[in-house]
Structure 1
Amino acid sequence: MKIKLYFGMENAIKKSGIGRAFYHQKKALTLNNIEFTTNKNDLDYDILHINTIYPDSLPIIKQARENNKKIIYHAHSTEEDFKNSFMFSNTFASLYKKWLVYLYNTADVIITPTPYSKSLLESYDLNKEIYAISNGVDVEQFNPTSEQINEFIQKFNISVNDKLVISVGWLFERKGFDTFVEVAREMPNIKFMWFGDVKLSNPTSKIKKLLKELPENVILPGYVSGDVIKGAYGRADVFFFPSREETEGIVVLEALACKTQILLRDIPAFDPWMKDQINCYKGKTNEEFISLIQKIINKELPSTIDEGYKVAKERDLILIGQQLKEVYEKVESL
């Protein structure tokens, strides 16, 4: 059995969660000795596993069908997580959903990251088997060393007394960037750092206005990867992710693997796998977030780090590869 992993417009979105998911798939398959290719012109494969929803996917789908290959569509995207993202995303959301339905219906089966995203897709006009498989996390890699933490501290001049709250992602309203800034404004004695590419986020007018009026304690380092972001996870007092909509949130898994204390917005995407006061803390309003951050930093709440790490371990890439293999074998027998 040989899998063709397809990822269109890679240079444009390799810094996104979908780009990270594609990297995870390659490693998960490698760890499980599953043969695969990423060569767009390779016809020597059994199953096309396609990750992206751009028009350049259509020739690959056509090629697969003409050569009697099975197709799996990895549904990373929904109408719900398209809204409140890029400029004009709400205007085109309904058309975007129709496009997704058209593409996903070209597949034999669909994979999506969480029970929540599976439930959304089941409400669409899709007559396909849908499997919920986490994007996973490389637990071995996301294990910050003292050297990585020190590199981060030195790069951003973080003192031993600084209290630090971080987040990672596009600067979208959907991601809760506005909430992050508003909460930071009320907590001037704490440093808030949001890691994400400002320009590629194509900010809406609301986000642009926030960027012009950032409080002094909000730092935007841009997109950061490798040792530095691992060091950030390792040094942070709180990983604060106030996203309003997700299919999963790979950065949450990364923070869990790095044993960072997690604070999430209470949204359906994190049910049932993220449990308030057990493996994370959850809030709904700015007032709740402010209170929880203060209590976490002051050690007034019990740590949920150990239970959170268990969630990451359950989604280690070697286990994700095993789950993907099971789906491949089912599809191969169709």
Structure 2
Amino acid sequence: MKVLLYFEGEKLLAKSGIGRALEHQKRALTDVGIDYTTDPSCTDYDVIHLNTYGLKSRWMANRAKKAGKKIVYHAHSTEEDFRNSFIGSNQLAPLVKKNLVSLYGKADYLITPTEYSKNLLESYGLKGPIKAISNGVDLEKYQPSEEKEAQFKEYFKIQPTEKIIICVGLFFERKGLKDFVALAEACPDYRFIWFGHTPLASIPRDIRQIVTGAHPSNCEFPGYIKGDIIEGAFSGADLFFFPSYEETEGIVVLEALASHQNVLVRDIPVYDGWLQDKVNCYKGTSNQEFEACIKGILEGTLPELKENGFQVAENKSIKTIGEELQAVYETVLN
């Protein structure tokens, strides 16, 4: 069996969760011994595994179908998670959905990260088989490391008495950026750091103004940071707070869980079935609830759930994902 992993605009999307999903797929296939290529000119593959939905992706799908190849489409994107992102995204969302349905309909098999996103795709009227397979997480990479944590604390000049709350995401309203900043204003005794970057020209003016200066002094936007510093932040901070309103999974949540970190998320349907409030994470539905959770976690009046959270990440390891992908490939080939 040989698989062509296709990812349109790889450099452009490298800093996103979808970009990390491709790296996880490469690792997963290697771990289970599946031969793969990322060369789009390759013709001797058995299955094409598509990850994106641009014009080149459509051309690759059509070429594969004409050649009699099997098509697996990884449905990372939905109309719902396109909304409240870039300038004009809400107006374009219905067209995006139409394009997604057209592309996903070409597949012999659809993969999507969660049962929630599977249900969304089924509501679009897609009739082919759909399987929920997590994007997975690299457990080894996110194991707590004193050296990485020291680099994180040195980079941000963190004092021993400071309490640090982090988030990782694009500069989208959908990600809960406004709420993150509002909570920083409500909790001036803590430092809030939002990791990530989006070209400022592509985001609405109100979000752009927040990122470039209209935020309290205890809230920071250092941009996209990779490697030891961000990995040290995941375990070295005091809380990972992810107030996103819509996800198909949320790879950064898995990375925080794998880092043995306290995790606070918005109570949205995508987490149903794998994240449980007050069991392996904390959930909130309003800024008032988030503030109470933040203070309870950081001041020690709420119990730590780090180890329960890590068990969730363990069940979504890259090796496990590789075995699930292999089963899908074998199904379409047989």
TM-score normalised to the size of structure 2? 0.98
Using the TM superposition, name which of 227-236 and 58-67 deviates more: 58-67
Tell me how large the CA RMSD over aligned residues is.
1.0
Shift of 1:66: 1.9
- Letter of the structure 2 residue corresponding to residue 231 of structure 1: G
- Letter of the structure 1 residue corresponding to residue 289 of structure 2: E
Shift of 1:200: 6.0
Q: Secondary structure at the match of 2:175?
A: coil
Q: Secondary structure at the match of 2:202?
A: coil
Identity of paired residues, percent? 49
Corresponding residue pairs, total? 333
Q: Which residue of 1 is the match for residue 256 of structure 2?
A: 255
Q: Which residue of 1 is the match for residue 106 of structure 2?
A: 106
Distance 2:150 2:75 in 1: 38
Gaps of 5+ in 1: none
Q: Is the 8 A contact 2:117 2:248 kept in 1?
A: yes
Q: Secondary structure at the match of 2:36?
A: strand
Q: Secondary structure at the match of 1:318?
A: helix
Q: Which residue of 2 is the match for residue 8 of structure 1?
A: 8
Q: Residues 69-92 of structure 1: CA distance to partner in whole angstroms, max 9, x if unpaired?
A: 000000000000000111110011
- Letter of the structure 1 residue corresponding to residue 232 of structure 2: G
Using the TM superposition, name which of 247-256 and 205-214 deviates more: 205-214
Shift of 1:58: 1.9
Note the 1:41-80 alignment, pairs <5 A: 41-80=41-80
Gaps of 5+ in 2: none
Change (3 A) 1:168 1:99: same
Change (3 A) 1:109 1:252: same
Distance 2:221 2:156 in 1: 11
Tell me, yes or no, if structure 1 residue 27 matches structure 2 residue 27: yes
Q: Secondary structure at the match of 1:220?
A: strand
Tell me, yes or no, if structure 1 residue 208 matches structure 2 residue 220: no
Q: Which residue of 2 is the match for residue 165 of structure 1?
A: 165
Shift of 1:126: 1.1
Shift of 1:189: 1.1
Q: Secondary structure at the match of 1:150?
A: helix
Q: Is the 8 A contact 1:264 1:283 kept in 2?
A: yes
Note the 1:266-281 alignment, pairs <5 A: 266-281=267-282
Change (3 A) 1:274 1:70: same
Give runs of ≥4 in structure 1 deviating > 4 Å. Answer: none
Q: Which residue of 2 is the match for residue 135 of structure 1?
A: 135
Shift of 1:157: 0.4
Q: Which residue of 1 is the match for residue 321 of structure 2?
A: 320
- Letter of the structure 1 residue corresponding to residue 242 of structure 2: F
Q: Which residue of 1 is the match for residue 147 of structure 2?
A: 147
Shift of 1:108: 0.7
Q: Which residue of 2 is the match for residue 236 of structure 1?
A: 237
Distance 1:117 1:194 in 2: 26
Q: Which residue of 2 is the match for residue 118 of structure 1?
A: 118
Q: Is the 8 A contact 1:172 1:201 kept in 2?
A: no
Shift of 1:197: 0.8
TM-score normalised to the size of structure 1? 0.98
Q: Residues 259-310 of structure 1: CA distance to partner in whole angstroms, max 9, x if unpaired?
A: 1100000000111100000000000111111110001001101111111000
Q: Is the 8 A contact 2:200 2:208 kept in 1?
A: no
